[in-house]
Every structure is written in structure tokens, then in C-alpha cells.
């Protein structure tokens, strides 16, 4: 195995952790710097790195990343001091015993600033006031481990509980709501061993890095050694963060019966996705371009995403990718040194990393920090043995505005109301994850899209009995993808292994039985290929399963785990030794019977202690004097002879040695299974694809969707009776959704200018077109009676209002920045959607910007464009480009304003028809929305009168202007009327 050692790489980097948040996708929870001496975090706008190319992230990128998160209290840094160290109760911040300095945003030391935000992180250490001899042996042991892992909360195994010490204890107690008290020199709190996974996950969810320290000695072996009077040795066995929750300690495993009965649907309780993302930047001096490399890895599933792309000053492309990946941790590497670069170059030609030789330099520069970071968690195999392929990450062909991305994937903490919510009818955890990838990464290859469509069509229309049988196999399965990856990391329990391997074996056997009917009944190339290949891929699982003792596997007894020891000579030899000692103990029973003159005497077991000689108290006089009394009651006393004591000690040592040997053999066993990892992962991927195809078929059947026709090479979007998939589902069957037609032709009318009253359905309509286009390129049926679409290379949107106050950007600045990105990136094969561009400034400037931008898309970009506006002058573009532009509005019924008997003007009343109709709307009827918002009637009456006065003034000016100027010209005053 080839891996990168931290000392060899000599990289500096920080880890920025994120967590899901109901307001937006992430919460800034911790900034952890590692044990390097310095942190060269530069803040230039665009850093021009060395000739090696890939550099640290510029301030613009860091600002964009900060835009995804909200500040929260991170974990502290530095060693937790004893209770009376560092100044005692009077320490700053009210936290006694603080030895180390804190980190930013609520750390231990005031005034600290996170790296990359305003300065470097400094870790200080106050001198300890207690000599080494003042600590207990356990405290000294803890401090030694803590010094090596000072960025983690350490849970130390002590008998039947795990203990936290010092600041770790205070933080853990606060987050876990448990009691914390002073014990010797440290504050301490504890949790039971059987609840470790609950508390570790809770701490990790709050942004902490948690280390589990376990005893590495057993009592029997320790008693036989020279250090029998010393402290048990302990070592850090595992580290956990949000993206690295893989291991026996944190994965509660249910029984197969529970899974089959539907009591649980997952082996672990992780969120659907938990990506660790690494970024690097390169400034191309010759092309004047910023190139960003991206690698995202999900250690729990083995998924690796690669990408390299050009981005602008606003990092809009980066935003789109981060939103899609939705990472829980982001790794930000600094610039690579020359030696590090040479090291990477040297290993790219070595097996198994030869596949990265063809990757772009920024992508390769992300792999080093990721491998280095994951090595700390023993999860680096997922990258070291990964079969790298550029196509693993489909380039970000669709750039969504943040709000559109939320509506497509619901990255704000929930799923209801998103396109994913509409399409996801999968029955497996791995199927749900794949469906999210499909929705976030629409296909651009016509053949792949048609293969999915044909498979969905066959599922919908075929009468083959094979399809229901295949679908039934997908119900109540554990998370096979995570389970296989946990085995690959050699971190799974025996229970999880048996659950996963038995499920894989059963699926392989049942699919094998269906092969004849699959071959004869199915015609879809995609379905046939997936189902015919899977049984052979799953075949090795059966061979591993038959070696196991089912009862021992389910109970976690590794000493009895393997039912056939022919392949395990070490265990076989140890079993022989144990049996020999047991035979000696049984043979000694005859001597005991003779001594006590009790021919039927047998050993008893009391309180877990074996081979006790039980003697009635009336007969203790015949017990030899050298026998040791173990326990007694009013009626009997229990003894062991010196011989028994020695043999029992040997037996305990052999049994504990057997457990150690069994653990080693278990690890080797997992390694052997891991050699089939890629095979098993491919099989699970096939099942996930089948699950997604069944899901698309189910939603098409339930909602009466149609199969879209793909027109490869054509630039068009033609939709008959199209419906918004989310709104249509939310409204249900009893409320009629008003369908609308869409016709955009690249060589004909390719731009629709949409006007109409506020609340009339304009934004819903344009989103409908975008979502239908995405669904078509996912391979799904679409909510329409007929659809013909060309393949888009991107969907670019500018809608909604948002500012970036912390960047000093107004709403209008954000609007124009996003519009600028779209102008730069859109092509004639793109769908561009602009909603009310230019509304954040004065009417004259807004009209001018909107008019010029729209004309540029019509004349130069030639993209398929939907442009929503409240500016009537823009509708004049239909006369300028009659072949390519059409004016439309959302239809409505108008009750004209009325004047009451007292002369009060009552505003008009609008009835929305939600029907796209040809022609421009003259006004926006904002007073109607004011009425819907329950603005007081007195205000509405004054507003209506004022609006009428302004309209009269505008009309008078227009008539005067037309009398003295060319009547074909337009002026901006008409826009003022529509905005009043």
C-alpha cells in the first residue's frame, strides 16, 4: 500500500467543519488547525502562487465559502489543564484550568481570529503549576495522549465507562447534559460503554472531533506479566468527525430480523451524504484565468467526486458545486512546497495511484491533503485504492442560483417541496443517494438519457412478472453501500458484517434464480445489463458467509466466530491449547473427589467464576489447608486447589490470547473481503440504479407524466400542458393545476418576455420550465401531455432578492454580479432565466440595464431565454426582433377601480388565471397584492388615489411628448406608471 506521510508531504492546511442547518445547509462549527508550526494563510485577492500552480484559497473564495455558513461556537484548542492550573478559578472567561489558548468564535481566548479571516491561530500554553508527580498515573497517561491529539475530545475507557478529563469534560458535559465534577486534578465526567455511539455522534454533530481511547491490555495477560502492578496501557483507537463516522464504536447495528420487519432501514444513522471536500486554486498567468480544483470524498460510502473548472471573481461556479456536494467538512490546503510537488509527481506513476497521472494539477493537489487527513482516521484506503476517472464527477453543466438549487435538492435541511422530493420513491438508502446525484447532475449524453427513458418505459408498460419480483428484493435492505465500505475500512463489527454479507448473498441467490426470466422477458439494454451482471458480482459474499458461525456473529463473539478453522491454523492451535488445559482441569476432578470422598462431586460456576469446589460447611474439616477459599454462604463454602488456581490462570490467559488472535484473524478476514470491494460496490451501484429507475417509473405512473422526446442537435423546448412538478404534487388531486404551454426555438422565437400582475404566477412558470428541462435530462418522464426538448449544456438563473452585507454588497450589486456570471458563461445551447433584472435601482437605470442585457442575449448569445419583467419598455424588443422575441403575460381578470359615494377611490380587484397568454401586460397591479397582504383599507384608498394622479400626469406628459417627437419612440415614464 502506498500512502502519504504527513512529514513527507509537509503541507499546511486547516479543516473547516459544517453541519446541516434548517435555515440553509450548513453551520460554521469549528476551525481546527493541526500540529504544524506555522500557517501561511495569505489574503490577497488573487494569489499568484509559485510555478507549481496550485495555491491556497484567495480571500474571495473564502468569503464565498463563508457565505454558506452561520458562525457557531467551535471547539477549543490546547491541552486541558488541571483544575488548579493556569491561574485557578480566576482565569479569564470563567473557565478554570485553561492552559491552552482558544480558537475564534467563542473559543477559550478572547480576541482570537480564525485563519484566513483576519490572522493566524496562535496556540499558547501556560506553565503547569503541578509537577509530574502531582498527577495520578491515569492523568499522566491521559495528558500524554492528549498532547498528541490536542484538537480532539478524548473519551478514555476505564472499566465499564468512558471518561472525559479537564476541558474535554466540561465541553462534553455541556453538550451531553451530564454531570461534571472535580476528581483529583481534573474535572471529569463519564458515559457508559454501551452508549458510546450515542454520545460520540452527539458531540460530532456539534462540530467536535472526538477520539476514543481504549485499554489495550487484558487483566489476565497483565497479571502474568512483569508490569502487573502498573496502570493498564491505553491507546487512541479511533477518531471521528462529521465526515468520518465509520467504525464499530459509532455504528449501531440492528439485527437482520429488525431490517426485514421494517423496524429499521439502515445499518447506521448517518445523514444521507457526508462529504469531505478539498479545494485548491491556480492562477493561470497566460490566460488570466482562475482554475479551481475540487475533490470530494465520502469515506462512509467510498464515493469520490473530481472536478477542475474555471471560475470568476464571484466564485459562482464554486457556489454551485458546493451546493451540490453539500459537504459537512471542507479541507483548505495551503500552497504546495517544491518537495511536496515532487513527491506527488513521484507517486503518480506508482501503483495504485497511476490513474491520477491524467488528472489536472489542481485536482491532484487536493488529493495529498485529503489522503494525509484521512490517514489520521485510518480511512485513506478509499482514496489510495480508488479507480480514478474524470467522468466520476460530471462537470457542473447546470448552474443553479442558490434558491433554485434549494428547490431542486432542498439543501436547507429538509426535502419536502423540492424536485428531489417529487422524484424520490426509492426503497433503499443507497438508491436515495444515487437519486440525489441524478437530480443534481443531469446527463448531457443523449444515448444515456434514452437508455434510462427506455428502462422506465418498460417498467411502466411491461407485463413481465420478473419486474415485480426484482422490485420486491429492494424492500427493507440495510444500507449495503455503507456496510461494504465499512468492511473495506476494516472497521465493522461482526454483527454488521453478518447483516451485510447475508443480505448480499441472499440477493445474489435470488437474482440468480431470476436470470432466465430476465433474459427472456426484458428488452431494456440498461435493465438487462444491470440485472444480469449483479449475481456474478455478488457471488463471493456467499463464500465468506458460510465460514461464519451465525450465532457467534450476531452476538459479537469473535472467539467462536469461525465455524471452520481449517483456514485459521493459529486459532486452531490456540483452541487445542485451551482444550488441553480444560482436560487437565477435568482430570483433576478425580483427585478432588478422592480428597473429599465425594464420588459425584462436580465443579460449580458462581458469579462468572468457573471451576469452584463447593463443600458443605459441615465438611470443611476435610478440606486441605492449602486450598483457597473463594466464597461462602451459610450453607456452603467454595474453594480452589492450588493446582486449579494455576490451571484457571493459564486458561484465562489462553482465552484472552485467543481473543487477541481472533481479532487479528478477523481483521485479516475483513481484508480478504475488502479485495472484492470494487466488485461489491459495483453490484450495489447496479441495485441502486434499478431502485432509481423503479422510482422514476412510479412517479410517472402516479402523476400521469409523459415521455419527453429528445431532439439531439436541436435547440428547442416545446412543452404542451406543462405543470410545475412540485406545485402539482403539493396541490393534490382535488385542486386543478393550470397547465401552460412553452415553445422556444433556437432558430425561431427563442426569447419570451413575460409580464403581468404580481402574484400572477410568472416565477412559478419559469421555474416550471427549468424543472421540466432538468427532469428530461435526468431521464425521467415529465409533467406534461407532450414534450420535445434539445439537450441543454446549462441552466442559468437569476431570480429572487438577496444581499451580502458582510461583503459590503447591496441587493442590486448581488443581482448584477450574478447576471454578469450568466452573461459570461451562457451559450446558445443554454436555458437562461432572468427574473426582474434591474429592479434594485432607479427606474431609468433599471430599464436601461435590463434592456441592454436582454438584447445581448437575443442578439449575441442566442440562448433560449425567459425574461420576467415589470418594465413595459422592454416589450418593445418584440418589434426590434420580431422573429426571435415574443411578449407574453400571465392572464387575469380585472375589476376596474370604483369611486364610492363619498368620492373615495377603491383599488382595482384582480382575479388570477395563471395562464400564459400572448401579448404584454400594461401594468403590474401592485395594489392588489397590497390588499392580499391585508394592508389597511385607509392606506389602500390613499395609494389608489395617488396612483391615479401619477397616471394622469404620465399620460399628459406622454401626449405632449408625442405631439412634439417621433411617436414611435418610447420613454421611461411609462415604466413609472407601471411601478406605482
Mapped to the 3 state alphabet, what secondary structure does 264-312 carry? Answer: CCCCCCCCCCCCEEEEEEEEECCCCEEEEEEEEEECCCCEEEEEEEEEC
Nine-digit cell at 567? 483456514
Nine-digit cell at 470? 426484482
Give the C-alpha separation, 355 to 172, whole Å.
43
Place of cell 482436560: 583
Region of 375 (left: φ > 0; alpha: ψ -120 to 50; beta: rest) is alpha
Instruction: Name the CATH topology of 709-922.
Output: Rossmann fold (3.40.50)
Give the C-alpha separation, 601 to 590, whole Å.
9
- The reported pLDDT for the residue numbered 216 is 83
Nine-digit cell at 607? 458469579
In the chain, where are the structural domains located? 137-240, 709-922
CA distances from 306 to 310, 359, 722 (A): 14, 9, 35
Give the C-alpha separation, 282 to 786, whole Å.
46
Give the C-alpha separation, 833 to 47, whole Å.
33
CB-based contacts of 793: which residues, under 8 Å, 6+ apart?
Answer: 397, 444, 827, 829, 830
Per DSSP, 872 falls in state G
Give the C-alpha separation, 181 to 188, whole Å.
6
Give the C-alpha separation, 582 to 881, whole Å.
98
> How close are the terminal C-alpha atoms of the chain, in Å?
71
Give the C-alpha separation, 795 to 401, whole Å.
9
Residue 714 burial (C-beta neighbours within 10 Å; 0-12, 13-18, 19+): middle
For strands 303-311 and 234-240, give the pairing. Answer: unpaired
Q: Would 137-240 and 709-922 be classified into the same CATH topology?
A: no
Nine-digit cell at 601? 462431586
Give the C-alpha separation, 458 to 382, whole Å.
36
Nine-digit cell at 266? 439502515
Strand partners, 98: 80
Region of 724 (left: φ > 0; alpha: ψ -120 to 50; beta: rest) is beta
Are 858 and 885 spatial neighbours (Cβ–Cβ below 8 Å)? yes
How many CB atoms within 10 Å of residue 666? 18
Strand partners, 280: 293
Give the C-alpha separation, 455 to 442, whole Å.
17
Are 847 and 871 spatial neighbours (Cβ–Cβ below 8 Å)? yes
Nine-digit cell at 225? 506479566
**Cα atoms found within 13 Å of the Cα of residue 302, Cβ hemisphere only:** 27
The candidate with the shortest Cα–Cα distance to 54, out of 388, 350, 411, 341, is 341
- The reported pLDDT for the residue numbered 120 is 30
- Segments in the chain below pLDDT 50: 1-54, 70-129, 255-257, 260, 264-268, 336-337, 339-351, 353-354, 389-403, 966-980
pLDDT digits (tens, 9 = 90+) for 457-468: 999 999 989 999
**Degrees, nearest 5: CA angle 552-557-562:** 60
How many helices, marked H, and strands, marked E, lie in the chain? 31, 29
Give the C-alpha separation, 177 to 188, whole Å.
13
What sections of 675-749 are H helices per DSSP? 677-703, 725-731
Long-range contacts of 228-232 (CB under 8 A, 24+ apart): 230/137, 231/137, 231/138, 231/141
Are 302 and 355 spatial neighbours (Cβ–Cβ below 8 Å)? no
What order do you get walking across the sheet with 604-606 strand by strand? 604-606, 609-616, 636-640, 628-632
Helix (H) or strand (E) holding 143: helix 137-148
Across all residues in the chain, what is the average pLDDT?
Answer: 77
In CATH terms, is domain 137-240 a member of 3.40.1170.10? yes
The candidate with the shortest Cα–Cα distance to 400, out of 381, 429, 420, is 420
Amino acid at each position: 500500500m502506498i500512502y502519504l506521510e504527513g512529514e513527507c508531504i509537509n503541507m499546511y492546511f486547516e479543516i473547516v467543519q459544517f453541519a446541516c442547518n434548517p435555515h440553509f445547509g450548513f453551520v460554521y462549527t469549528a476551525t481546527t488547525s493541526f500540529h504544524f508550526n506555522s500557517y501561511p494563510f495569505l489574503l490577497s485577492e488573487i494569489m499568484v502562487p509559485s510555478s507549481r500552480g496550485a495555491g491556497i484559497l484567495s480571500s474571495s473564495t473564502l468569503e464565498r465559502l463563508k457565505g454558506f455558513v452561520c458562525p457557531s461556537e467551535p471547539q477549543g484548542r490546547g491541552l486541558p489543564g488541571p483544575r488548579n492550573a493556569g491561574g485557578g478559578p480566576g482565569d479569564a472567561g470563567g473557565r478554570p484550568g485553561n492552559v491552552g489558548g482558544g480558537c475564534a468564535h467563542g473559543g477559550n481566548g478572547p480576541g482570537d481570529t480564525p485563519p484566513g479571516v483576519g490572522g493566524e491561530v496562535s496556540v499558547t500554553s501556560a506553565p503547569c503549576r503541578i509537577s509530574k508527580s502531582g498527577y495520578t498515573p491515569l492523568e499522566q497517561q491521559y495528558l500524554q495522549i492528549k498532547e498528541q491529539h490536542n484538537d480532539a475530545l478524548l473519551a478514555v475507557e476505564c472499566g465499564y465507562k468512558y471518561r472525559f478529563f479537564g476541558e474535554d469534560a466540561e465541553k462534553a458535559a455541556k453538550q451531553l447534559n451530564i454531570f461534571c465534577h472535580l476528581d483529583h486534578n481534573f474535572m471529569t465526567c463519564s458515559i457508559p460503554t454501551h452508549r458510546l455511539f450515542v454520545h460520540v455522534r452527539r458531540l460530532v454533530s456539534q462540530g467536535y472531533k472526538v477520539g476514543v481511547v481504549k485499554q489495550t491490555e487484558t487483566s489476565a495477560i497483565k497479571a502474568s506479566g512483569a508490569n502487573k502492578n502498573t496502570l493498564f496501557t491505553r491507546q487512541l483507537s479511533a477518531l471521528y468527525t462529521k465526515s468520518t463516522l465509520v467504525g464499530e464504536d459509532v455504528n449501531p447495528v440492528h439485527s437482520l430480523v429488525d431490517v426485514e420487519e421494517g423496524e429499521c432501514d439502515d445499518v447506521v444513522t448517518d445523514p444521507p451524504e457526508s462529504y469531505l471536500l478539498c479545494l485548491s486554486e491556480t492562477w493561470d498567468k497566460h490566460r488570466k484565468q482562475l482554475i479551481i480544483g475540487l475533490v470530494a470524498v465520502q469515506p462512509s460510502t467510498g464515493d469520490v467526486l473530481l472536478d477542475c473548472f474555471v471560475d470568476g471573481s464571484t466564485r459562482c461556479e464554486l457556489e454551485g458545486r458546493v451546493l451540490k456536494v453539500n459537504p459537512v467538512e471542507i479541507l483548505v490546503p495551503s500552497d504546495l512546497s517544491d518537495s511536496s510537488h515532487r513527491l506527488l509527481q513521484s507517486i503518480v506513476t506508482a501503483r495504485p495511484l497511476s490513474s491520477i497521472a491524467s488528472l489536472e494539477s489542481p485536482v491532484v493537489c487536493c488529493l495529498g491533503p485529503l489522503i494525509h487527513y484521512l490517514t489520521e482516521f485510518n480511512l485513506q484506503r478509499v482514496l489510495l485504492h480508488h479507480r480514478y476517472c474524470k467522468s466520476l464527477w460530471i462537470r457542473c453543466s447546470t448552474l443553479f442560483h442558490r434558491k433554485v438549487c434549494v428547490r431542486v435538492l432542498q439543501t436547507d435541511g429538509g426535502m419536502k417541496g423540492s424536485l428531489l422530493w417529487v422524484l424520490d420513491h426509492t426503497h433503499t438508502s443507497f438508491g436515495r443517494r444515487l437519486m440525489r446525484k441524478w437530480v443534481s447532475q443531469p446527463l448531457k449524453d443523449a444515448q444515456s438519457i434514452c437508455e434510462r427513458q427506455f428502462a422506465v418505459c418498460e417498467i411502466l408498460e411491461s407485463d413481465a412478472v420478473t419486474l415485480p419480483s426484482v422490485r420486491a428484493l429492494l424492500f427493507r435492505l440495510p444500507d449495503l453501500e455503507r456496510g461494504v465500505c465499512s468492511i473495506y475500512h476494516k472497521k465493522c463489527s461482526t454483527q454488521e458484517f453478518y447483516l451485510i454479507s447475508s443480505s448480499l448473498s441472499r440477493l445474489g441467490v435470488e437474482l440468480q434464480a431470476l436470470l432466465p426470466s430476465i433474459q427472456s422477458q426484458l428488452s431494456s439494454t440498461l435493465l438487462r445489463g444491470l440485472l444480469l451482471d449483479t449475481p456474478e458480482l455478488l457471488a463471493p459474499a456467499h463464500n465468506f458467509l458460510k465460514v461464519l458461525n451465525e450465532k457467534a456473529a450476531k452476538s459479537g463473539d469473535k472467539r467462536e466466530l469461525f465455524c471452520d478453522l481449517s483456514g485459521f491454523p493459529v486459532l486452531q492451535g490456540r483452541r487445542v491449547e485451551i482444550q488441553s488445559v480444560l482436560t487437565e482441569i477435568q482430570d483433576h476432578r478425580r483427585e478432588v473427589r478422592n480428597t473429599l470422598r465425594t464420588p459425584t462431586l462436580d465443579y460449580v460456576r458462581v458469579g462468572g467464576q468457573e471451576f469452584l469446589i463447593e463443600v458443605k460447611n459441615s465438611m470443611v474439616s476435610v478440606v486441605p489447608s492449602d486450598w483457597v477459599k473463594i466464597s461462602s454462604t451459610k450453607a456452603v463454602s467454595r474453594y480452589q486447589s492450588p493446582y486449579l488456581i494455576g490451571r484457571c490462570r493459564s486458561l484465562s490467559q489462553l482465552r484472552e490470547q485467543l481473543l487477541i488472535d481472533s481479532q487479528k484473524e478477523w481483521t485479516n478476514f475483513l481484508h480478504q473481503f475488502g479485495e472484492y470491494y470494487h466488485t461489491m460496490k459495483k453490484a450495489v451501484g447496479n441495485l441502486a440504479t434499478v431502485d432509481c429507475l423503479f422510482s422514476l417509473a412510479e412517479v410517472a405512473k402516479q402523476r400521469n407524466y409523459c415521455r419527453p422526446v429528445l431532439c439531439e442537435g436541436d435547440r428547442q423546448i416545446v412543452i404542451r400542458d406543462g405543470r410545475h412538478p412540485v406545485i402539482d404534487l403539493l396541490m393534490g388531486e382535488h385542486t386543478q393545476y393550470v397547465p401552460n404551454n412553452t415553445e422556444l426555438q433556437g432558430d425561431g422565437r427563442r426569447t419570451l418576455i413575460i409580464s403581468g400582475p404580481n402574484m400572477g404566477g410568472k416565477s412559478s412558470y419559469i421555474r416550471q420550465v427549468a424543472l421540466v428541462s432538468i427532469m428530461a435530462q435526468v431521464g425521467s418522464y415529465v409533467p406534461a401531455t407532450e414534450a420535445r426538448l434539445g439537450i441543454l449544456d446549462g441552466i442559468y438563473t437569476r431570480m429572487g432578492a438577496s444581499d451580502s452585507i458582510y461583503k459590503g454588497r447591496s441587493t442590486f450589486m448581488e443581482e448584477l454580479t450574478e447576471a454578469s456570471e450568466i452573461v459570461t458563461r451562457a451559450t446558445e445551447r443554454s436555458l437562461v432565466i432572468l427574473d426582474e433584472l434591474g429592479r434594485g435601482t432607479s427606474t431609468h437605470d433599471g430599464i436601461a440595464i435590463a434592456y441592454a442585457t436582454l438584447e445581448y442575449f437575443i442578439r449575441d448569445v442566442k440562448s433560449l431565454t425567459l425574461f420576467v419583467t415589470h418594465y413595459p419598455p422592454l416589450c418593445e424588443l418584440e418589434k426590434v426582433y420580431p422573429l426571435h422575441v415574443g411578449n407574453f403575460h400571465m392572464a387575469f381578470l380585472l375589476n376596474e377601480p370604483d369611486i364610492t359615494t363619498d368620492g373615495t377611490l377603491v383599488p382595482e380587484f384582480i382575479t388570477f388565471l395563471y395562464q400564459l397568454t400572448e401579448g404584454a401586460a400594461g401594468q403590474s397591479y401592485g395594489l392588489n397584492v397590497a390588499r392580499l397582504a391585508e394592508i389597511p383599507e385607509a392606506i389602500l384608498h390613499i395609494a389608489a388615489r395617488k396612483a391615479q394622479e401619477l397616471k394622469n400626469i404620465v399620460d399628459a406628459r406622454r401626449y405632449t411628448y408625442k405631439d412634439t417627437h417621433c411617436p414611435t419612440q418610447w420613454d421611461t415614464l411609462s415604466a413609472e406608471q407601471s411601478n406605482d
